[in-house]
Structure 1
């Protein structure tokens, strides 16, 4: 992953007007914390290794997920933190980048054991001042969810009694514990918004040989975790795309005529696997889904899935990277040479951090979005409806009346803000691609993020 990041960074740096030493400073991770702590599990003491990396404090706080994975290490979280810095800059979220992880396989531990581990990890972060509403704000990532974020928030609150803004120390919390509606599906929804915006740019769409919108597009999704499952559901239900293939860690499924994602997710919940789902062909190779014939490929699993080995066999003309670094540098070069268009991860999966920013703002303001304006909006709509009825002498259609008098709630505001953010960021990336003549969207996205970080360094006087 570090090699991939460095290759992409170097390709973009040549388009950025900044001194080489400043660019080198921005590339490297500024603060890294390795910790090892004991936790008693089933009568035995387990020494667990954990990490937190804060890539850049040019914006504060820093922001990034917390992953539970047996393969996590310091270089990985440092690289992911660097990606977070640029990702936040691309979507105009005022955070520096960070990332953390604990080296464990969650399935090997009970809920009570995971709670003790998470709380101890949080205590270690507090001890070294690596967490706080204005310092560093974790969020869910691979292997973690709302549950772990609630434990982090509670631990931080206990160790900071009477702290007014304690809930803002972490995002991705349950709604009842300071979270925000729409956060759970935010990353997957953001990928869908990125694709919608892509299809509005005809000069890019022509490069893929596609046309129209996401309607009836054949889509393959690798990974049905939080990101992939929500993306697939939303693409099917809202944009009427056809899910023709999915992949998980144990196998892939192929259904040329499409499969119902709701039924598939229910099957997975019941059986513990997507294997042998009725109406689809089970392919034993987990990565086989990447090579299926489709219009849009969405790798939403883990890093390094599209490699130099399988890149020549990829058939999708359009790839939207929902996972972090799913494509190696060698594979990226092959795909670009073959004419495939890639919507890069550094932009496409920024929906999570965008809505995390909304949650952080909500926690600091201590007010639910829409609370002040909803009634005013409803009253304004009611006066407008009454005026139209008086002018026309006819009753307003009841279904339209109910919709207009519903008012805007928190979820609608969050989704609207997310869609606007993803749309604006994509337009900035395309403008840079056209102006600078960059090779592809990935390079333009890196340039977009780098330009903003460089500007912050220069304007804030961080760089001597």
Structure 2
């Protein structure tokens, strides 16, 4: 059978090349979302003075519905189309992993790009970031976003110009809720609980949430998720299938690490956190942001 897939690669600003940004594989992707995320990438790079323009990509696909062999063929075909249009290349446009993609997909993209550009042997590997170590990747990259969340919280708490966390300057015994247990949410939860002594009391996912007031064992929860395909049914906590109210529970720190617009006008009044730390792209809507700030919540 023949299948057609819709993909996008948006470039927001070429004021500084290469342009940079992830490629996500999600079933509900659309052009507006990709364009908005590309604009966010420009702003993020600019804010931390990294010399890249913003770009973003997406393929409208649910990767869970396809085998690894099928995903490889699809990814290679997508790479060919990006290459034809000058939307991938070192010094030009450099994709990265995002929701639904990882080291594996980046390795396929590099290999396909090298096939299409056989004369560019030296630089071809630089057409994407987030590659496996064996393919020229950098150690620490996989956990870098989650580590960055940890560093951001630590920096805020140590800054004497801020109010801290209820007067506290560290996370010892602070309660943390994490929404989204993918790469970013998992690593943020792992580092905050193991390094900083925080209690991750709730982990919320698309099919419900798991709770333990004494703190969930994050590494054990991840192994359970990898084994079963879900965080639900974890022995070290109480499962709440189909319940999307996990992020509304009382906590010191709320980390939305799933999709954009997770905190919006419909649920903002139920948010009960002192500190909201954005680990996803735009998880708090513009309207919800104003309401949270008016209540004294730090974002």
Q: Same fold (TM over 0.5)?
A: yes
1:176 match: 134
Pair 1:196 & 2:131 matched: no
| Aligned-pair Cα RMSD in Å | 1.2
Question: In 1, are the aligned partners of 2:20 and 2:55 still within 8 Å (CA)?
Answer: yes
The offset of 1:214, in angstroms, is 2.0
Which aligned pairs between 1:37-116 and structure 2 lie closer than 5 A? 44-116=1-73
Question: 1:66·1:139 contact (CA, 8 Å) conserved in 2?
Answer: yes
Three-state SS of the structure 1 residue aligned to 2:3 is strand
Per-residue deviation at 1:287? Answer: 2.8
Counterparts of 1:344-383 in structure 2, within 5 Å, are none
Q: In the aligned structure 2, how far is the partner of 1:306 from the partner of 1:210?
A: 25
Supply the distance in 1 between the matched residues of 2:134 and 2:227 (Cα, whole angstroms). Answer: 27
Q: Which has the higher contact order (CA 8 A, sep 6+)?
A: 1
**TM-score when scaled to structure 2?**
0.96
Q: Deviations over 1:191-228 (max 9, x none)?
A: 1000010001233235x524121222111101110110
- Partner of 1:327 in structure 2? 284
**Runs of 4+, deviation exceeding 6 Å:** none
Deviations 1:414-456 (A, max 9, x none): xxxxxxxxxxxxxxxxxxxxxxxxxxxxxxxxxxxxxxxxxxx
Residue of structure 2 in register with 1:300 after alignment: 257
Consecutive unaligned residues in structure 1, runs of 5 or more = 1-43, 343-464
1:263 to 220, 223, 237: 220
Shift of 1:142: 0.5
Q: Which runs of 5+ in 2 are unaligned?
A: none
Instruction: Please say if residues 287 and 305 of structure 1, whose CA atoms lie closer than 8 Å, have aligned partners that are also in contact.
Output: no
Q: Aligned match of 1:316 in 255, 273, 289? A: 273
Per-residue CA distance 1:361-411 (angstroms, 9 max, x = gap): xxxxxxxxxxxxxxxxxxxxxxxxxxxxxxxxxxxxxxxxxxxxxxxxxxx
In 1, distance between residues paired with 2:241 and 2:135? 41
Higher-helix-fraction structure? 1
Larger displacement relative to structure 2 (300-309 or 97-106): 300-309
Work out which of the residue numbers 205, 209, 215 in structure 2 matches 1:252.
Answer: 209
Q: How many residues align?
A: 298
Bigger shift: residues 243-252 or 271-280: 271-280
Give the Cα–Cα distance (whole angstroms) in 2 for the partners of residues 57 and 171 of structure 1. Answer: 18
Look up the SS of the partner of 1:48 in the other structure: coil
Compute the displacement of 1:286 (Å): 4.1
